[in-house]
Chains A and B, each alone.
Chain A
Amino acid sequence: MNLAGRIALAVVIGVLAWATGARAEQRFPPPEFESDYQMPAMTTPPPRALVWQYIDVGVLAVALGVAVWLVHRKRSRTGVLVLSVLSLIYFGFYRTGCICPIGAPQNVLFGLLNPNYAVPWPVVGLFVLPVVVALFAGRAFCAGVCPHGALQDLVLLKPVQVPLWLERGLSLVPFLFLGAGLAFAATGSIFLICKLDPFVPLFRRHGPTWSLLLGAAFLLVGTVVGRPFCRFICPYGALLRLAAMVTKWRVRVTPDLCTQCKLCEQSCPFGALRQPSSGTPDPRTLPVERRRLLALLLLWPALIAVGAWIGAHLTVPASRLHPTVRLAEFYLEHKKHPKQYPIQSPEALSLLRAEQTWPELQAAALQLRHRIGLSMKLFGGWAGLVVGAGLIGLAVRRSRTDYEPDSGACLACARCFESCPQELLRRGVPIPLPTAASAAQPQSVVANLPTAAQTTNR
């Protein structure tokens, strides 16, 4: 009998003891049977044992370690691929989702703000570990540990490049989604991030039709667009992106000399690879850029204010996501335009409850709406902040001497390694021979080498 089983038994015994405890003697006796009838006990199959949650955290930690090793030391795309398959099987299809690091931020915030929900340690672990790793070694979690990422990565067959400007524009969405998710979780309205998760239903092979279809749609788009969810939706990804921006060890195409052969240019399906750009600005455009930057800096607070203002006006619709407020509104609506609901229908029963507990319900709803209004203002402010920061980020000029991944956007999938001749040389892997499809290719490489040398000597 395994540990889980033993714990299960313990729980059952505990429950029964609790059940047949203090109040039992009050119970009106059941019939005394003359036949030797033994009254069966109510079975109470226990939930997934606690150890398993700690085991999950352990597995996560190990997987993260392996991922970091594979990306930074071993620099093996194959390895990452294998790891992601394993993660997909364990975290995805075996553990079927909840609670996963993507949803964890909600639990953490909810736990901090809600007196009768204390965040369990495993959840804290799930939340913190990937962030810490990202702070030091980039988004190793996204690379090969997150089942969502793994799934999309596996179905990516014919990557098409999303234009960089679109990429940047859409990169705002995850931050806003994160803000919204947290704003709603903080007030206990709804765990939006979990509600809208497209892949967990697939892992469970169960779920409402719409979310199954959503997942399918994401996967289909994912066959040609690299990891659409990770790049343009995933709120936890946004968090990791922030962390990875300041990461200590960045993911590089190659630790060796970059010959600027441009072979890796197309190799990143996630639009994370950036071309070299001379840090020295063009004197003609420089004043324009300076002014733009200044203007944006001045505009920033205004943006935040506008956001907060919009947020404030979102209070009413937003609060409807909270069941209590929704019921209160439904009740009032019903009072205004009465409607006959069928006997014992959920609507009728909810209205009955509202009727019986109206004053308390009203008070609760109003208080909730107040709190939700607050969090909506904050969300709006955050949105303004994000937009402003994004624009400013674009306005400052970065200088890159080599082809290298944008440390925030890079998912550390290790694809680009394979495309770098230097890297292949270093690892002693044979450089793929030119196929008939591209005859002109070797010259081009050779042709580029000297120019590369010049640029480096400049």
Chain B
Amino acid sequence: MSWIPTSLTAALRAPGLAPLWRSVAWVAGLFSALIALGLLLQQLNPEKRDPWKSPELLALKQQLVSEPNNESLKQRIRDLDLRLRQRHAAHLARVRTGRWLLLGGLVVWVVAARQLAALRKTLPVPKPDPEAEQKAEQVAAWSRWAMAATGAGIGLALLTVAFSSRTALSPQPVAAAASDFATATELALNWPRFRGWDGSGVTLHTDLRLTWGTNSTAGIAWKSPIPAPGYNSPIVWGDRVYVSGGTAAKREVFCFDARTGALLWQRPIERVPGSPPKAPEVPESTGFAASTMATDGRRLYVIFANGDLAALGLDGTPVWSKNLGVPKNPYGHSSSLATWQDRLIVQFDQGEGEPGASKLLAFDGPTGRLLWQQSRPVEASWASPIVVELAGRPQIITLAKPWIIAYSPADGAELWRVEGMEGEVAPSPIAAAGLVLAVVPSMKLMAIRPDGAGDVTKTHVVWAAEDSMPDITSPVANDQLVFTVTTPGLLICFDLKTGSKVWEKELDLEFHASPSLVGNRLVLVSKTGVILECAAARQFKELGRSDLGEEVHASPAFAPGRMFIRTVKHLVCIGPAAQALAQQP
């Protein structure tokens, strides 16, 4: 191999060949450059060529979903699809050949350019260099600096990287914080707020005896005195029942054992930062503890008429408390609390609609931090908000004069609003069969489609039934019928789909408690303590009544096999007696 290459190289390096090599080098170089550029462009945006990303094709396929029998459309899809895929294949082939061409071009270029370079090579003309040594010293010095600089430079670069990066990764568990609230199922199986988890007054625990005839107390499992007055309704979590009570002097939370009725603990809410030293004047008709408590399954929340708001652990240990200011409210604050995930939702309406007076507030359950607040263009109201999943999104539904407004619990953004609330708004909204039902006190019942945005007064009111309507109690509904009962005792049944009246019935009773649904049974508790059970059906049918013999203003709460009713003095449990319960799961 010694002589062949040498002679060969000698031949190739005949000086005469220089121009040839030069032109070859130029041609090959330009050729390669062009190919390389082409390939680069192909490489830079391949997406354009990917058939599966063609917006046109996607659009056509989308269109086909809406018009499945459009043959010409199908044909267009097929043609386009074929065209796109052929283009894709062509692109791949092009790139493949392009790469080989580039390789070839470069080989030729390298060979030619090398020959050229060899031909141009001339022997160096070294001159004796007297100060070579000094130069060497110079270079040595520079070298030291260069090396130090390299080291330092890299070191600094690494340092900047090191100190510009933060991390959240640590041995602490994070998942715990994620679910600091009960699941929807848990909430639904308990009675975590006024009128149940979704505020509809419907219980999932349908196997319970509600009445037992009038002249006995057979149905009463137990009956325990509540140490402090209050119009709020009981809430239930697990086998605990909670109520609040209050006077100008002292405001408290009480916890009862659901099985035995024993008062397990009572916790005064005192030394609340910002709480007025002297309790405000509030009328007897509402008192200090008209608002029902709420729980997210981890903490209890309670609010009083003096604006004190507090969170307790399920065992009564204080978590946080604050004062929202004494509400400007002729009857005293009575809107009940609501929760969403680990958030507390407070509807705090006051005044005559002066801007900024009425608010909707969301607090972080564990800390009490204010997460967001929305000022509401409404007057004081006494209705309670509900938080429900409607039209695929969680919504807070609020009633007050003059607006029905829905908010997003995540950020408080207003979702939609409907005008038309009048009078003193006390009945709370409910959601049934995908509709929102709102009572305009003693005037009408409205059904609203909750999938709108902005002011949907014109567009989303499905129906409105003008009739003698409640001024205190809230409606209740299954997915076919809606029931309302007025204070003087007029019970009306509407068709949920149409709003047409199905039947009405004069009851010889007065009502402050809102009606409830137990399976297909409608339960009413009268002001005088009469429990009335009738069929939630298209004809009125009384199924039974019993008498507690005590005044009742609060709405009942439910647990598996039990119903809890707060009378003016007592907490009453309707259901099998404690020892009977022991066997039950």
A–B: direct contact at CB < 8 Å: yes
User: CB of A335 within 8 A of chain B?
Assistant: yes
| Contact pick for B117, options A158, A263, A387, CB 8 Å | A158
Q: Does A314 contact B (CB under 8 A)?
A: yes
A310 to chain B, nearest CB (A): 5
Q: Report chain B residues within 8 Å CB of A170.
A: 146, 150
Judge whether B124 is part of the interface by a CB distance below 8 angstroms: yes
Q: Which residues of A contact B167 (CB under 8 A)?
A: 316, 329
Q: Does A216 contact B (CB under 8 A)?
A: yes
Q: A262-B126, A265-B124 are in contact. Are A366 and B44 (CB under 8 A)?
A: no
A43: Cβ under 8 A from any B Cβ: no
Q: Which residues of B contact A313 (CB under 8 A)?
A: 159, 162-163
Contact A165 B166 (CB under 8 A): no
Chain B residues 112 to 132 lying within 8 A of chain A, measured CB to CB, are: 113-114, 116-117, 122-128, 132
Asked if A111 is at the interface (CB within 8 A of a chain B CB), the reply is no
Give the residues in chain B near A444, CB-CB below 8 Å. Answer: 125-127
Assess whether B582 is interfacial by the CB under 8 Å rule: no
Q: Which residues of B contact A401 (CB under 8 A)?
A: none
Residue of A with least CB distance to B25: A157
Partner of A314 from the list B6, B99, B147, B162 (CB cut-off 8 Å) is B162
Alpha-carbon distance A429/B6, docked complex (angstroms) = 10
Residue of B nearest to A289 (CB): B140
Beta-carbon nearest neighbor of B100 in chain A: A205
A203 vs chain B, min Cβ distance (A): 10
Within 8 A of B (CB), among A276-331: 277-278, 282, 285, 303, 306-307, 310, 313-314, 316-317, 320, 325, 328-329
A172 touches B169 (CB 8 A): no
Which chain A residue has the least Cβ–Cβ distance from B146?
A: A169
Contact A169 B150 (CB under 8 A): yes
B439: shortest Cβ distance to chain A, in Å? 38
Question: With A and B bound together, what is the CA distance between A209 and B40 in angstroms?
Answer: 8
B5 lies within 8 A of chain A by Cβ: yes
Contact partner, B154, options A155, A176, A366, Cβ 8 Å: A176
**Which listed residue, B5, B36, B43, B165, touches A316 by the CB 8 Å rule?**
B165
Q: Is the interface of B mostly helix, strand, loop or mixed?
A: helix
B-chain residues with CB within 8 Å of residue A365 when the two chains form the complex: 169
Given known contacts A170-B150, A172-B151, A329-B169, is B139 in contact with A440 (CB within 8 Å)?
A: no
Q: Nearest-CB distance from B514 to chain A (Å)?
A: 38
Q: B15 to nearest A CB, angstroms? A: 9
Contacts of B1 in A (CB 8 A): 79, 82
Q: A233: CB under 8 A from chain B?
A: no
B158 within 8 A of A: yes
Kindly state whether residue B137 has any CB partner on chain A within 8 Å.
yes
Q: Which residue of B lies closest to A79 (CB)?
A: B1
> From residue 378 to 428 of chain A, which have CB atoms closer than 8 A to chain B?
380, 383, 386-387, 390-391, 394-395, 419
Tell me whether B171 is interfacial, beta carbon within 8 Å. yes
Q: Could you tell me the distance between the alpha carbons of A57 and B5 in the complex, rounded to whole angstroms?
A: 28
| Interface status of A131 (Cβ within 8 A of chain B) | no
A116 within 8 A of B: no
- Using an 8 Å CB-CB cutoff, how does the interface string of A25-56 with B read, 1 for contact, 0 for none? 00000000000000000000000000000000
Q: Quick check: B147 and A329 within 8 Å, CB to CB?
A: no
In the complex, whether B59 has a CB less than 8 A from a CB of chain A is no
Looking at the assembled complex, report how far the CB atom of A335 sits from the nearest CB atom of chain B, in whole angstroms: 6
Let me know if A329 and B168 touch, CB within 8 A. yes
A383 near B126 (CB under 8 angstroms)? no
Which of these binds chain B: A14-22, A132-140, A431-439?
A431-439
Whole-angstrom CA separation of A137 from B110 in the bound complex: 30
Hey, which chain B residues are within 8 Å of A429, CB to CB? 6
**Which residues of chain B are within 8 angstroms of A71 by Cβ–Cβ distance?**
none
B16 close to A (CB within 8 Å): no
- A277 near B136: Cβ-Cβ < 8 Å: yes
Distance of B155 from chain A, by nearest CB (Å): 6
Asked if B6 contacts A78 (CB within 8 A), the reply is: yes
Stretch touching chain A among B67-75, B172-180, B478-486: B172-180
Complex contact A205–B99 (CB within 8 A): yes
Counting contact residues on chain B (CB < 8 A from A), the size range is: 35 or more
Contact of A359 among B40, B144, B168, B173 (CB under 8 A): B173
Contact of B168 among A163, A212, A332, A391 (CB under 8 A): A332
CA distance A366 to B280 in the complex (A): 57
- Asked, given contacts A205-B99, A209-B44, A440-B125, whether A391 binds B163 with beta carbons under 8 Å apart, the answer is no
Chain A to chain B contacts (Cβ below 8 Å), 8 pairs: A165-B146, A209-B44, A262-B124, A316-B167, A328-B169, A419-B123, A419-B124, A444-B126
Min CB–CB distance A155 → chain B (angstroms) = 6
* A173, CB-defined interface residue at 8 Å: yes
Q: In the complex the two chains form, is B143's CB within 8 Å of A168's CB?
A: yes
Assess whether A157 is in contact with B150, with CB atoms less than 8 Å apart.
Answer: no
Tell me the complex Cα distance, A275–B132, Å: 9
A316 proximity list for chain B (CB < 8 A): 162, 165-167
Contact of B139 among A82, A165, A262, A391 (CB under 8 A): A165
Of the candidates B137, B139, B143, B150, which one forms a contact with A173 in the assembled complex, judged by CB atoms under 8 Å apart?
B150
Tell me whether B147 and A212 are in contact (CB under 8 A).
Answer: no
Chain B, residue nearest A170 (CB): B150
Interface: A72 (CB within 8 A): no
Q: Are A325 and B165 in contact (CB under 8 A)?
A: no
Cα distance A286–B148 in the bound complex, in angstroms? 21
The CA-CA distance from A387 to B158 in the complex, in Å, is 15
A-chain residues with CB within 8 Å of residue B6 when the two chains form the complex: 78, 429
Q: Which of B44, B136, B142, B147 contacts A275 (CB 8 A)?
A: B136
Q: Contact check, A432 vs B144: say whether CB atoms are below 8 A apart.
A: no
Known: A365-B169, A438-B125. A166 touches B114 (CB 8 A): no
B103 within 8 A of partner (CB): yes
A437 to B36, CA, bound (A): 36
Partner of A164, one of B36, B124, B143: B143
Asked if B2 is at the interface of the complex by the 8 Å CB criterion, the answer is yes
Given A267-B124, A387-B148, 14 more contacts at CB 8 Å? A154-B110, A155-B110, A157-B113, A165-B145, A165-B146, A172-B147, A205-B99, A209-B44, A216-B36, A282-B133, A332-B168, A335-B174, A435-B122, A437-B122
Q: CA separation between A154 and B106, bound complex, in Å?
A: 11
User: Is B161 interfacial (CB 8 A cutoff)?
Assistant: yes
Asked if B168 contacts A387 (CB within 8 A), the reply is no
Whether, in the assembled complex, A336 has its beta carbon less than 8 Å from a beta carbon of chain B, the answer is yes
Report yes or no: A366 in contact with B175, Cβ–Cβ below 8 A: no
Judging by beta carbons under 8 Å apart, are B123 and A157 in contact?
no
A-B interface, 8 closest residue pairs, ranked by CB to CB distance from nearest? A169-B146, A262-B126, A165-B142, A387-B151, A313-B162, A332-B168, A205-B99, A168-B143
* Known pairs A265-B126, A383-B155, A440-B125; A366 contacts B146 (CB<8 A): no
Least CB separation from A165: chain B residue: B142
Chain A residues with CB below 8 A from B132, complex form: 275
A96 to B110, CA, bound (A): 20
Instruction: Indicate if B578 sits at the interface (CB-CB under 8 A).
Output: no
Contact A172 B155 (CB under 8 A): no
Does A451 contact B128, Cβ atoms closer than 8 Å? Answer: yes
Q: Which of A82, A205, A391, A419 has the most CB of B within 10 A?
A: A205
Question: Which of chain A's residues have a CB closer than 8 A to the CB of B161?
Answer: 314, 317
CB neighbors of B among A51-103 (8 A): 74, 76, 78-79, 81-82
Contact B148 A391 (CB under 8 A): yes
- Chain B, residues 22-58, CB within 8 Å of chain A (1/0): the string is 0000000000000010001001100000000000000
Task: Evaluate contact between A157 and B114: CB separation under 8 angstroms.
Answer: yes
B413 within 8 A of A: no
Which of A159-212 touch B at CB < 8 Å? 163-166, 168-170, 172-173, 176, 205, 209, 212
A261 at the interface (CB under 8 A from B): yes
Contact partner of A394 (CB less than 8 A), chosen from B9, B43, B116, B147, is: B147
The CA of A223 and the CA of B29, in the complex, are separated in Å by 13
**Contact assessment for B113 and A432 in the assembled complex, using a CB-CB cutoff below 8 Å:** no
B147 and A390 contacting across the interface, CB-CB below 8 Å: yes
Known: A79-B1, A314-B158, A336-B168. A169 touches B143 (CB 8 A): yes
Does chain B have a CB within 8 A of A266? yes
Indicate whether B149 reaches chain A with its CB closer than 8 angstroms: yes
Which of B137, B143, B151 sits near A383, CB closer than 8 Å?
Answer: B151
Instruction: Report chain A residues within 8 Å CB of B171.
Output: 362, 366
